[in-house]
Amino acid sequence: MLSKRQSHIIDLLNNEMGPMTGKALGKALGVSDRTIRSDVEGINSEYGCELIRASRRNGYYVDHELMKAQNISSQEVIPQTAQERCVYLIKELLFRNREINLIDLQERVFVSGYSIDNDLRKIREMIRKYPGLKLVRSKNHIRLLGDEGDKRRLYKELLMEETKGNFVNLNAIAEIWKDFDLLKLEDDFAEICEKYGYRISEMEYPLIMLHAGVSIERMRNHNYVSEEETLEEGEGREYQIADELFARISDIYKVKLVKDEVLRFAGLLKGKDRLPKAEARKAEEDEGMQQLMRDILEILRNEFDIDLSGDQDFQSGIIAHIRLLMKRQQNQVTANDLYLQELKRKYPLVFEMAVRVAWCIEGYCGTRLNENEISFLALHLGAACERMDASEQYRVVAIIPNSYTMSKPCVDKLMLRFGDRMSIVRVCSFFEERRILQDNPDMILTTVPLKHHMDIPTVQISLFLNGEDESRVFQMLNLLDREKYHKDFVNLMERLMRKDLFHIRPSMESREEILNFLCDSLYEKGLSGEKFKENVFRREALSDTSFVYGFAVPHAIEASTMESCISIMILREPVKWGDFNVSLVVLLAIRETDNSLLKVFFDWLCNIVTDNNKFQELIHSSSYEEFMNHVIR
């Protein structure tokens, strides 16, 4: 029987997806490289084969084929950097809802108590901007206490950071396979799609190519799928594209062309084309499947604060995946995902979400999902989270009636110049109103003159995107910003400036009386912490927060509020506040997590106070409704 350390050697080598020297293994496990050599010999003796091989140049590595043959699975992904350990700890605290024994933790992750203490300091710093959360340590145990809403916001922040730029990064995905060029395959795929006039969203390419990479690796190792044929051979463009692509793969890598692989890839393309009509009707008719999808969306919304109800790509992708999963179960075929260990190690929060979704699917399918199946779900979830993170970008459809070779440089240049503000969701060779409506873009870019009756701003550019073209696109994005942020501004101000925090007073004795009244009001309503008033007075002691125009903006020197809000007081008789007479007091109570709101607020305030007519209208408001009308107009 293997020792705990020997099991962890297997886990470490499996996690690395590459060789590790004996010295590196010894450092990770706190033993000498001689001990590692002895443990490796014991492992190979236990399994009766050379499960762990050694290379003089590179070190130890796992024979993955033997692992499959011996039915060995990695027991636990071991976080290896301080950041990975911090995320690992937060995940345990958020989802296991229990204390963590720090002594056991040291043994699990093979670090010293000193390193764990450093990790805890980093975690406390990470949660400092969430006043409702507190990391509590009792001797050798820790637990996370606090508001459930803050726990979800913390999770969401870490999740968005974890997925950022990874699940739609084709270059990162291509690095998984060292033995073949996935980027060259992407070029072949794009060429074939162009041949058949088949368009796929830029956001969908990486996941499709990931599936293609997995198929190549499986075929090269003579591991083939066996699917029930959802498409007849030769049926539809999807099958023709898949057949031609896999014929090229077979020719380049000298592997057997397997029709089941072709059918599987064609089915994937069908799913990415928002499900063909027949499949869509089938999904609608299958109330069980639709209820399962509603349950999954509800779990993501309620337990993780992630709303994917508007992401049709995610929903159609999950439904297609579940159908394939059920067929695999019927045919007793096991799915292997080479990305599994990489997912578990690099994206633990996404994987945790996938585990919860898998639990829901298991109830529907009546069978347990293994980690390989869960990892495929994690890919769908990670890509969806990244799309959600990019939802602040404007959606753009590009009309470019040229070949892929000609249009790609134009698209690449647009994304290089404006990729932080917009996302090209589709490149079309012609204009069709039905498809444009389906994509719901904020803007249309076209390299040819275009007239239409749709209420979508349209900008004509040249194929080679010169300086004038960039200026036109830039100006249109700024116009969209103004329209968008006005709506956001109205919603923001209505949320922050609540009616119960609005006060009109004939007079007040002093600024101290005003601050006591406003701060006490926030505390009584449960909107601020005990130290908020003290921090407001500490800030005021440093320098007066009044301004020459006749207003004051008091605020705390440290964030200590439970909820972001703004308290307003209008004084009919101005009060002396430092060097100025003040008629309008705006008490800011903004949480650190909402610091971005401050810029929006001060932009508005500068606009108001530099226009005396607007300011006078504001301070002469007779009611909350009149005041808000002046604010948001």
Mean pLDDT of successive 10-residue segments in the chain (633 residues)? 81 72 82 89 89 85 76 64 82 76 81 84 85 85 83 78 67 70 84 83 71 76 54 69 90 83 79 44 63 91 84 83 76 58 71 88 84 82 78 86 84 88 88 87 93 92 91 87 75 87 94 95 89 91 86 83 87 92 92 69 72 86 92 80
Second CATH level (architecture) for the domain 82-146: Orthogonal Bundle (1.10)
* H or E, element range at 442: none
Interstrand relation of 458-460 and 580-589 (parallel, antiparallel or unpaired):
unpaired
How far apart are the C-alpha atoms of 197 and 237, rounded to whole Å? 9
CB 28 within 8 A of CB 11: no
Angle CA(502)–CA(503)–CA(508) in degrees, nearest 5?
150
pLDDT confidence of residue 166: 64
Q: How far is CA 579 from CA 491, 539, 576, in A?
A: 34, 16, 7
pLDDT confidence of residue 343: 66
Q: How many alpha carbons fall within 13 Å on the CB side of residue 334?
A: 9
For residue 380, the Cα-to-chain-centroid distance in whole angstroms is: 11
- Full DSSP string of 209-232: HHHHHHHHHHHHTT-------SS-
pLDDT confidence of residue 410: 92
For residue 360, the Cα-to-chain-centroid distance in whole angstroms is: 21
How far apart are the C-alpha atoms of 268 and 615, rounded to whole Å? 59
How far apart are the C-alpha atoms of 340 and 343, rounded to whole Å? 5
How far apart are the C-alpha atoms of 533 and 516, rounded to whole Å? 7
- Per 3-state DSSP, the chain is made up of helix, strand and coil in percentages (nearest 5) of 60, 10, 30
Range list of H helices, 273-339 = 277-285, 287-304, 312-330
What residue spans in the chain does CATH classification 1.10.10.10 cover?
A: 4-69
Q: How far is CA 362 from CA 238, 327, 333, 452, 514, in A?
A: 30, 14, 17, 48, 59
What residue spans in the chain does CATH classification 3.40.50.2300 cover?
A: 393-476
CATH topology of domain 393-476: Rossmann fold (3.40.50)
4-69 CATH, one of 1.20.910.10, 2.130.10.10, 3.40.640.10, 1.10.10.10: 1.10.10.10
**Structure tokens belonging to residue 226:** 């066996």
Angle CA(361)–CA(311)–CA(209) in degrees, nearest 5?
80
CB 163 within 8 A of CB 149: no
pLDDT confidence of residue 347: 77
Output the pTM of the full model: 0.54
Query: How far is the first Cα of the chain from the last one, in angstroms, to the nearest whole number?
Result: 74
How far apart are the C-alpha atoms of 86 and 100, rounded to whole Å? 13
Q: Which of 452, 442, 472 is nearest to 460 (CA)?
A: 472
Q: What's the sign of the alpha-carbon dihedral 507, 510, 514, 520?
A: negative
Angle CA(39)–CA(45)–CA(46) in degrees, nearest 5?
90
How far apart are the C-alpha atoms of 238 and 196, rounded to whole Å? 9
pLDDT confidence of residue 549: 79
How far apart are the C-alpha atoms of 503 and 585, rounded to whole Å? 10
What residue spans in the chain does CATH classification 3.40.930.10 cover?
A: 497-632
**Structure tokens belonging to residue 282:** 């089938």
Q: Which of 525, 486, 519, 512 is nearest to 632 (CA)?
A: 486
Task: Write down the residue that tokens 């990415």 correspond to.
Answer: 272
Q: How many alpha carbons fall within 13 Å on the CB side of residue 241?
A: 27
How far apart are the C-alpha atoms of 401 and 398, rounded to whole Å? 10
Sheet of 458-460, strands arranged across: 422-428, 394-399, 443-446, 458-460
Interstrand relation of 565-577 and 580-589 (parallel, antiparallel or unpaired):
antiparallel
CATH topology of domain 497-632: Mannitol-specific EII; Chain A (3.40.930)
